[in-house]
Amino acid sequence: MLEDGLGRRVEYLRLSVTDRCDLRCSYCMPPGFKDYEEPGNWLNFDELERLVAVLAGLGVKRIRMTGGEPLLRRNLPELAQRLARLPGVEDLSLSTNGTRLKQNAAALRAAGVTRLNVSLDSLDPERVHKITGRDVLPQILDGLEAARAQSFQVIKINMVVLPEVRDGDIDAMVEYCGARGFVLRFIEMMPVGDTGRRAGYVDLRPLRERLRSRFGLVDGMVPGGGPARYLMSPDGCHRLGFITPISQHFCETCNRVRLSVEGMLYLCLGQEDAVDFRELLRSGCDDEQIAARFRAALQAKPARHEFRERPERVVRFMSSTGG
DSSP letters for 262-321: TSEEES-TT---EEE-HHHHTTT--HHHHHHHHHHHHTT--S---TTT-TTS--S-GGGT
29 annotated to bind ligand: no
256 marked among binding-site residues: yes
Residue 299 identity (one-letter amino acid): Q
**pTM, rounded to two decimals:** 0.92
Closest CA to 184 of 254, 118, 94: 118
Neighbouring residues of 34: CB distance < 8 A, sequence distance ≥ 6 = none
Region for 232 from its dihedrals, namely left if φ exceeds 0, alpha if ψ lies in -120 to 50, beta otherwise: beta
Residue 14 assigned ligand-binding role: yes
Q: Is 181 annotated as a binding residue?
A: no
Domains within the chain, CATH numbers bracketed: 12-320 (3.20.20.70)
210 marked among binding-site residues = no
Determine if residue 28 is labeled as part of a ligand binding site: yes
Query: Residue 186 and residue 15: Cα distance in Å, rounded?
Result: 22
Among 44-58, 67-81, 94-108, 264-278, which is the least confidently predicted range? 264-278
25 among annotated binding-site residues: yes
Residue 95 labelled as part of a binding site: yes
Dihedral pair phi/psi, residue 224, rounded to 5°:
140, 160
Give the dihedral of Cα atoms 294, 299, 300, 302; nearest 10 deg: 120
> Do the annotations mark residue 237 as ligand-binding?
no
3-state class (DSSP) for residue 89: coil
Of residues 34 and 145, more confidently modeled = 145
CA distances in angstroms from 254 to 2, 13, 71, 240, listed in the order given: 13, 12, 27, 20
So what's the pLDDT on residue 223? 81
Residue 285 is labelled as binding a ligand: no
Of the candidate ranges 33-37, 135-139, 284-288, the one whose mean pLDDT is the lowest: 33-37
Helix (H, G, I), strand (E, B), or coil: what is residue 226? coil
Residue 268 annotated in ligand binding: yes
Please provide residue 195's backbone torsions phi and psi, each rounded to the nearest 5 degrees: -65, -45
Contact (Cβ atoms closer than 8 angstroms) between residue 112 and residue 120: no
In DSSP terms, which residues pair with 92 in a beta bridge?
Answer: 63
At 323 the pLDDT is 62
Q: Which of 307, 198, 183, 303 is nearest to 244 (CA)?
A: 307
pLDDT on residue 318: 59
Report yes or no: 277 and 290 within 8 Å, Cβ to Cβ. Answer: yes
Res 196: pLDDT:
54
